[in-house]
Structure 1
């Protein structure tokens, strides 16, 4: 029997959570992780969906990047500590308040903290974590945060959960979600962008620890399908390394409580190794397979 496709979190809580903590966010259309309006909106902006995570054949998967910013951007703090050690971490608003008072600190620059850094006309980095020493820029790292894009829609399932207080149905009575998972984006868009951004960072005079990458564990397993799980790891961060932090949602909680975001793996490798594996990875089809595919379409391949 196939597993029912389902919504896992809406506005940071289980979709059938009827507690005040959960349902007040439905009414506000607000994200509890960044304390701002939710960015998961339908095409004509008439509905704020608030969907943070959905089921997948490989486990629950986060589909909104803001879900990673729980506990006051803990994942960014962990990246900063890995790169720079145990020094104060400040959001941009905190940096403004404490300017001149702290001699050595890390300042987070991104969409919800100051501004997202643009490199050229079309390339942006989700976060720059900049270390300041004695009021001057000493070094920084780039950080990319990636959730999983979905296809299809989950409209019926979402409305089912929204109307639970009225219909008093059980979770098993909610229609199955019709979402799909855009795994093709991994090799079509995400890996090429990651390589480009890593190369740009490696050319900076201030980037000494390379690019950091934060994403769900189940999504990085798809990366490994492309580049191979046996790629050589680098011992230390350098300007030309990519450091990966993967996470998964913790166990389901009782009503009014949120699931924890749990670290799974941390490792790093050089951009050169990662790029070479993408171009000529172990799972690329052979030339003979391509030949056979062409003949099959032409009807020239004997069955």
Structure 2
């Protein structure tokens, strides 16, 4: 007999456990505020009247981040890490910090400036919107920059009953009815990574290719498509994708928030990644398609 699938649960709401009734946790509920970006949460229902604030959920035995803002904890630490990895020990600032320094008359800076979510604005060219760009500025000159893509996973289904039980601080929270839109991995997420990586690889000012920040369970779905045995490279470059996967850390006492934990860092060639997506090792054989159509039509 097949093992019973684990019930799906909400893991974090407004940054805290659903059963966290502490004043710290309930303040974020009352404010409809995201503790990771310090602003109003963006996860509203379709009527824009209920702010759900759901950061992460379970899928089978895994805990999965479903909101990219969850990946920005500790003042965008994951973004800052990329800046440090690529450019070394150079002062890092968000766009508003940069504007204040320029306005003060300091034009001889050697610094990193992040353009992206809540920092200036996203860089858009043609129909592509780059999540983050970290620019190295020296004496008012753009010296170099690196791109960062941040992805979580979209949710499907309905978790309203579980959410209301958490909101009302009931003793029992029912299982959630949510699902996860894994089809988006091959429909949207992988094609976006390839297209944006190609753009960065053609830039005259990019020496270090696209960095990809993603929850570990989501990247495992990438591996199910491109194969987990993709050859790795040992140094970054214009045509290298650098993947940073994150998990949610251990559970904590009430009133506190779980930390984001770096799980893996991988580097591989963009061309190899693209080739595997198109012709990939895990594509079904043609005969499987033949047999499927025969079975639908009940013919031989």
TM over 0.5: yes
RMSD value over aligned CA atoms?
A: 1.1
> Cα distance 1:287–1:41, how it changes in 2: closer, same or farther (>3 A)?
same
CA contact (8 A) 1:58 1:218 kept: no
Which residue does 2:287 correspond to in 1? 288
Q: How do 1:213-232 residues align onto structure 2 when only pairs under 5 Å count?
A: 213-232=212-231
Specify which of 15, 21, 26 is matched with residue 23 of structure 1: 26
Q: Retained in 1: the 8 A contact 2:107–2:140?
A: no
**CA distance in structure 2 between the aligned counterparts of 1:124 and 1:2, rounded to whole angstroms:** 38
What is the 5 A alignment of 1:68-217?
68-99=71-102, 100=106, 103-120=109-126, 122-164=127-169, 169-170=170-171, 173-217=172-216
CA distance in 2 between counterparts of 1:139 and 1:288 reads: 49
Give the stretch that moved more between structures: 61-70 or 100-109.
Answer: 100-109
Q: 1:102 to 1:34 in 2, by over 3 A?
A: farther
Tell me how far 1:111 sits from its aligned partner. 2.4
User: In structure 2, how many angstroms separate the alpha carbons of the residues matched to 1:209 and 1:153?
Assistant: 41
Give unmatched runs, 5+ long, in structure 2. Answer: none
Tell me by how many angstroms 1:98 deviates.
Answer: 2.4
Contact 1:145 1:214 (8 Å CA) reproduced: yes
Residues 12-64 of structure 1 deviation map (CA, whole Å, 9 limit, x = unaligned):
11111111111011111111111111000000100000000001114111000
Q: 1 CA distance for matches of 2:60 and 2:246?
A: 17
| Other structure's SS at 2:224 match | helix
Residues 237 and 268, structure 1, Cα contact 8 Å, conserved in 2 = yes
Could you tell me which of 42, 45, 50 is aligned with 1:47?
50
How far residue 97 of structure 1 moved from its aligned partner, in angstroms, is 2.1
Q: Is 2:64 the counterpart of 1:66?
A: no
TM-score by length of 1: 0.94
Structure 1: distance between partners of 2:160 and 2:125: 37
Aligned partner of residue 60 in structure 1, secondary structure: strand
Counterparts of 2:95 and 2:108, CA distance in 1: 14
Q: Post-superposition shift, 1:188?
A: 1.0
Mapped contact 2:10–2:58 kept (Cα < 8 A): yes
Q: How far is 1:117 from its partner? A: 0.6
SS at match of 2:62: coil
- With 102-111 and 256-265 compared, the bigger mean Cα shift is at 102-111
Taking the aligned partners of 1:204 and 1:70, their CA distance within structure 2 comes to 30
Deviation of residue 102 (structure 1)? 6.0
Q: Secondary structure in 2 aligned to 1:284? A: coil
Unaligned 5+ segments in structure 1 are none
Task: State the alpha-carbon separation in 2 of the partners of residues 93 and 210 from structure 1.
Answer: 26
Local SS of the residue matching 2:156: strand
> Is 1:245 paired with 2:251?
no
Q: Secondary structure at the match of 1:55?
A: strand
